Amino acid sequence: MVPLQKLLGKEDRFFDLFEASAEQACHSVQALKKFLQHVGPDASLEDFIASRRKDKAITAEINEALCTSYVTAMEPEDIEALSSCIYKVPKTCEKIAERILLAPQHLNGVDLTPQVVMLEKATDILLQMVKDLRKGSPRARLASLNQQMQTVEGEADKTTNQLLRGLYNATENPGRVLFLKDIYELLEKVTDRCRDAGNVILQIVLKGS
């Protein structure tokens, strides 16, 4: 495989920005993990807001670079798609925290640790894929990482379906049922965004091989 740096005219800027964005995705999941350990009416969204703003600035810089840089092998559509998928991770993490603060009492007795562990796995794999994209790693290496991502996303899907099955058959407070359904589905969306980003990265690699 020809290193994508060469195909981009040795332009490292996109790779720097992709890595910075993926790092913000990881940071947002860590912020969510910390947030869930101290849920309450006084919990702060500052970490989420800061991460999302940083990633928004990175996304804007990527769009600006697309308008001023000559890109050959890496198609602008793929760059935009990857940027958008990664940005949606911190954005969705912030939305999860916002929803929780609307009625934090409904999380009493609910353990979201399994979902958060999957989010950590997904964002870690995403960051590694972005780094390997820069290095021009073999296609088989990126395909293996993407398969790991698909496995995590599949586990998240199954977990969400099991939780939703329990909610649909619950006889408790309808407001709590609706609240938990919303949170479970938003958590799943984070792994979906990571999966989408992984698919775009693999597509870029296949086009450049």
pLDDT in tens, the chain (209 residues): 444 445 444 457 889 999 999 999 999 999 999 999 888 767 788 888 888 889 999 999 888 888 876 555 678 899 999 999 999 999 999 999 999 999 999 999 999 999 999 999 999 999 999 999 988 889 999 999 999 999 999 999 999 999 999 998 877 788 999 999 999 999 999 999 999 999 999 999 988 76
C-alpha 40/C-alpha 189 separation (Å) is 23
pTM recorded for the entire structure: 0.89
Write phi, then psi, for 111 (nearest 5 degrees): -105, 110
Element of type H or E holding 181: helix 174-208
What are the domain boundaries of the chain? 4-208
CATH number of 4-208: 1.20.58.220
